[in-house]
Amino acid sequence: MSDLARAGGHVIGFAATARRDRWWIGPLLTVLGLGGFAVYATWAAFQGSYYFHGAYLSPFYSPLLFVNPAAPGSAPLEHAWLGRWPSWWPSILPASPAFFIMAFPLVFRATCYYYRKAYYRSFFGTPPGCAVGPVPGGRYRGETGLLIVQNLHRYALYAAIVFIGILSYDAVRAFFRDGRPGVGVGSMVLLLNPMLLAAYTFGCHSWRHLVGGRLDCFSCDRQSAMRHGLWRGVTALNAHHMQWAWVSLFWVAFSDLYVRLVSMGLIRDLSTWG
Ligand code: FES
């Protein structure tokens, strides 16, 4: 029996509760949303193809470190930061550029304070909701032991900020095709992506602490006042962190899907390039 099941004299047993509201809707939607994203993102990362079209690069494949020009729908070699696909790559794995970079956004999302709450409840059931019985036999120890790795979040934040810069550069490039400026639906899709990611990332609790933490006085000098202004901006984003987390998660997957479908020729990108 866990401490949580005893606290307050709750009904004992997994998912047992005296609550009368539909508390299970949130965990269920989280399982469907996060589970669906995980399945799609894993599938897309394993493809290694159809991630590029004209001026559009899927965010799942950016930054593009190596390119395998033989793969259908791959980027031209000059788009690779480090060149042609490496010969040392294990042949049992698909030659997918996504494998080199996916760990960074994955660690950032997985260690996010909001997602932690969401998947601890939905996937681990520890407990599945407030005043709801946890998985039996579990002994809640907080984020100690193995879960101490969640402290990586503050470092993953630095990588996430770098990624926003790179994806913003990709978004600008999406408005130029063969040196000709223009705009397509894909340009707008890829422009919105770093904007939503920025709204999510710059509402991060760690970022909020970085810009406004450890200050005893907000108005004592100009630097403190400036940090206070920044902190207020971050706080405004932070208040809707869950919403930004979901919208940006959906949009990054949609961006990959859009580029993929255009690259495969399954849909036509409306654009000024014709
Ligand atoms: S707390 Fe969610 S991104 Fe940092």
Q: Sign (positive/negative) of CA torsion 179, 180, 183, 186?
A: negative
Atom nearest to 113 CA in ligand 1: 1
CA 35–ligand 1 middle distance (angstroms): 19
CA of 203 relative to ligand 1 center, distance in Å: 7
Residues 6+ apart with CB under 8 A from 102: 41, 45, 60
What's the gap in Å between 143 CA and the centre of ligand 1? 16
What ligand 1 atom has the least distance to the C-alpha of 245?
2
How many angstroms does the Cα of residue 202 sit away from the middle of ligand 1? 8
Percent above pLDDT 70 for the chain:
95
Q: Answer whether residue 5 shows pLDDT above 90.
A: no
Probe residue for ligand 1, chosen from 205, 234, 237 as the CB with the greatest number of ligand atoms within 8 Å: 205
- Which protein residue has the closest C-alpha to ligand 1 atom 4? 204
Mutate to test the pocket of ligand 1, among 109, 241, 248, 252 (most ligand atoms within 8 A of CB): 241
Domain segments of the chain as ranges:
3-263
- The pLDDT tens digits of the residues spanning 78-99 come to 999 999 999 999 999 999 999 9
156 has a pLDDT exceeding 70: yes
**Best of 109, 202, 204 for a ligand 1 pocket test (most atoms within 8 Å of beta carbon):** 204
Asked if residue 252 lies in contact with residue 59, where contact means CB atoms within 8 angstroms, the answer is: yes
- Number of alpha carbons in the 13 Å side-chain half-sphere of residue 195: 8
Residue nearest to atom 2 of ligand 1 (CA): 112
* Site of tokens 């909020």: 208
- For the segment 222-231, what is each residue's pLDDT rounded down to a tens digit? 999 999 999 9
pLDDT tens digits for range 98-146? 999 999 999 999 999 999 999 999 999 888 898 888 888 777 677 887 7
Give residue ranges with CB within 6 A of ligand 1. Answer: 112-114, 153, 204-206, 241
**How far is 268 from 187, CA to CA, in rounded Å?**
13
- Best of 206, 235, 240, 252 for a ligand 1 pocket test (most atoms within 8 Å of beta carbon): 206
The model's pTM is: 0.91
Distance from Cα 204 to the centre of ligand 1, integer Å: 4
Tens-place pLDDT, residues 166-182: 999 999 999 999 999 99
CA of 27 to the centre of ligand 1 (A): 19
> pLDDT tens, 182-219?
999 999 999 999 999 999 999 999 999 999 988 888 88
Minimum-distance ligand 1 atom for the alpha carbon of 205: 1
Cα(95) to ligand 1 centroid in Å equals 31
Rg from Cα positions in the chain: 22
